[in-house]
A and B are shown apart, each in its own frame.
Chain A
């Protein structure tokens, strides 16, 4: 058992973490908006936590707060990503479909280069030696687990609220929703900012987990991986991101005996899943409506 936990504890925590990132993509998708910006905010949140955790000028604050410095990091990351998310969302959400997706990729790329050029972010090496609250990596379940449960509860409530229904109405038909008097832009920005805020907090929790933080945390590849969780898991259900992350994060691990060819097989699974499960894994369980 101990051996099992040592080996798969990190994997389990990674699944929760990646599922949360998938959910940060699911939020704008609820309003029909395909955004890949999450990974940029994940990176931002991570930098906030990394700087707060290591910057010498903040040592008195850390000493005074003890463990409570971590929740403070989450709050600061939440505030920073909400502000930046709103600043990005208002102009960007005039764009539709693939244009929005590409604009958000552009944002991720620009953000990566800007961060690389900021001395406080440690350049290409990044920030290392970020203090870790737990010795065992499995213990980070106490960070990501409650956040995941809270997020799922929030989504459950949101889906049944007026706001959630407005999101869905935009997803189903933006023009019709607008014609019915829905303030389409405001709702889209709202869904987008919620996703950004979540991604920022996940980043802030991930910096201690990974111990180092650098510009490689926010790459196009990582953004695409998050999108794959949602699409493979099922993009019309909040469970999709969790199912997709569980499958796609553990897949390379399950295929490890195949060594060099495992990433090839990983690609094969992606293609087959798109062809045979167009509604994702969650779609297989969905009740068929008459």
Chain B
């Protein structure tokens, strides 16, 4: 229980927790605007990681339809990350067009949107498998260029290792979170977005193009999803087309823990779950996968609206 031990877990928890927060924000944005959970978000996360991989490494794996093909170029990692994220944003737009818009136009039940988005997730994941194959992809160790793999700090008696990738994870996530908060709080578009989230009909009467803002929301959501997919992928590798499903579920736990539809809640939830996983004693590590859900379950029982959620009083 030394200081070094504490700091090491803090570093681990904050870096992974900040990525959870970014990923979870993609769910939250869509939820706060449409009031539905987009289950295809985990598939967009996977897609982003694969796209960035191909753009940064320039070649495909050994099986799948595109096996052995190479791109005529290789992007530097930062550019590939950006391009992968933008393409994932477009995938988010496609999800809205395929799964949500037709249902919304028909005034269908929110439950159906859930199943429909699961259908899209199935399409995306299997498309990835079809094109990229089911094998494991790992980013080459020199993907970050000539940066050292880790920085070792001496703290008292102990050592604290900060992996470069952890710094990248935390830095990129922090930038995104600040940028997004600024966009939503201070720009005209952000205000319009909040108006749409508050009440689409009124927003429409005020001259806000609701459909355009919903599309925009899905674009940002997909962008955040793809970006966090890449960050997790660089850190832990891409274990196959299904690797986003487990993270997608975890991010669901994050947003409910923080309070559905609450942006600070998603950030807090991400950090809480990241830290809880990091501080789990080593002899209980086989329970690590249960940590987010156990936390979620307990919080829901004590505070059903989540940590920072508002308690919506139901009225007749």
* Chains A and B bind each other: yes
Residues 48 to 67 of chain A near chain B (Cβ within 8 Å): none
The closest CB in chain B to the CB of A34 belongs to: B111
Inter-chain CA distance A78–B294, complex, in Å, is 25
Q: Judging by beta carbons under 8 Å apart, are B296 and A103 in contact?
A: yes
Choose from A105, A116, A117, A275 the contact partner of B102 (Cβ within 8 Å).
A275
In the bound complex, residues from chain A placing their C-beta under 8 Å from that of B300 are: 92, 95, 99, 102-103, 106
In the bound complex, residues from chain A placing their C-beta under 8 Å from that of B304 are: 94-95, 99
Q: Judging by beta carbons under 8 Å apart, are B289 and A109 in contact?
A: yes
Is A114 an interface residue when CB atoms closer than 8 A count as contact? yes
Residues 161 to 217 of chain A near chain B (Cβ within 8 Å): 175-176, 179
The closest CB in chain B to the CB of A88 belongs to: B297
Q: Judging by beta carbons under 8 Å apart, are A117 and B286 in contact?
A: yes
Q: Judging by beta carbons under 8 Å apart, are A109 and B37 in contact?
A: no
Is B215 an interface residue when CB atoms closer than 8 A count as contact? no
Residues 202 to 242 of chain A near chain B (Cβ within 8 Å): 220-221, 224, 227-228, 231-232, 235
Given the interface pairs A103-B300, A176-B316, A264-B126, the reply to whether A224 lies near B256 with Cβ below 8 Å is no
Inter-chain CA distance A265–B252, complex, in Å, is 26
User: Which of the segments A6-14, A15-23, A150-158, A266-274 contacts the partner chain?
Assistant: A266-274
User: Which of the segments B79-87, B112-120, B220-228 contacts the partner chain?
Assistant: B112-120
Inter-chain CA distance A261–B106, complex, in Å, is 29
Is A5 an interface residue when CB atoms closer than 8 A count as contact? no
Q: Judging by beta carbons under 8 Å apart, are B112 and A113 in contact?
A: no
The closest CB in chain B to the CB of A103 belongs to: B300
Is A107 an interface residue when CB atoms closer than 8 A count as contact? yes
Q: Judging by beta carbons under 8 Å apart, are A232 and B293 in contact?
A: no
Residues 262 to 290 of chain A near chain B (Cβ within 8 Å): 263-264, 266-271, 274-275, 278
Q: Judging by beta carbons under 8 Å apart, are A116 and B286 in contact?
A: yes
Give the dominant DSSP class at A's interface: helix
Is B122 an interface residue when CB atoms closer than 8 A count as contact? yes
Query: What 0/1 pattern do residues 91 to 131 of B give for CB contact below 8 A with A?
Result: 00000001100110010111111011011111110110110
Inter-chain CA distance A96–B314, complex, in Å, is 11
Given the interface pairs A94-B304, A95-B300, the reply to whether A274 lies near B252 with Cβ below 8 Å is no
Q: Judging by beta carbons under 8 Å apart, are B126 and A263 in contact?
A: yes
Shortest Cβ distance from B284 into chain A, in angstroms?
9
Shortest Cβ distance from B63 into chain A, in angstroms?
11
Q: Judging by beta carbons under 8 Å apart, are B293 and A106 in contact?
A: yes
Choose from B120, B129, B249, B260 the contact partner of A98 (Cβ within 8 Å).
B260
Residues 133 to 163 of chain B near chain A (Cβ within 8 Å): none
Inter-chain CA distance A107–B127, complex, in Å, is 30
In the bound complex, residues from chain B placing their C-beta under 8 Å from that of A266 are: 122, 126
Query: What 0/1 pattern do residues 105 to 128 of A give for CB contact below 8 A with B?
Result: 111011011101100000000000
Residues of A within 8 A of B (CB): 34, 91-92, 94-96, 98-99, 102-103, 105-107, 109-110, 112-114, 116-117, 175-176, 179, 220-221, 224, 227-228, 231-232, 235, 260-261, 263-264, 266-271, 274-275, 278
Closest 8 CB pairs of A and B: A270-B119, A267-B122, A113-B290, A267-B123, A274-B116, A106-B293, A271-B119, A263-B126
Residues of B within 8 A of A (CB): 37, 39, 98-99, 102-103, 106, 108-113, 115-116, 118-124, 126-127, 129-130, 245, 249, 252-253, 256, 260, 286-287, 289-290, 292-294, 296-297, 300-301, 304, 314, 316
Enumerate 17 A-B pairs (CB-CB under 8 Å) in ascending A order. A92-B301, A94-B301, A98-B110, A99-B260, A102-B256, A103-B296, A105-B252, A106-B300, A109-B293, A231-B115, A264-B123, A267-B119, A269-B119, A270-B115, A271-B98, A274-B113, A278-B106
| Additional pairs, 18, CB under 8 Å, beyond known A102-B252, A176-B316, A261-B130 | A95-B300, A98-B110, A98-B260, A103-B301, A105-B249, A107-B293, A109-B289, A114-B290, A220-B249, A231-B115, A267-B122, A270-B119, A270-B122, A274-B108, A274-B112, A274-B113, A274-B116, A278-B108
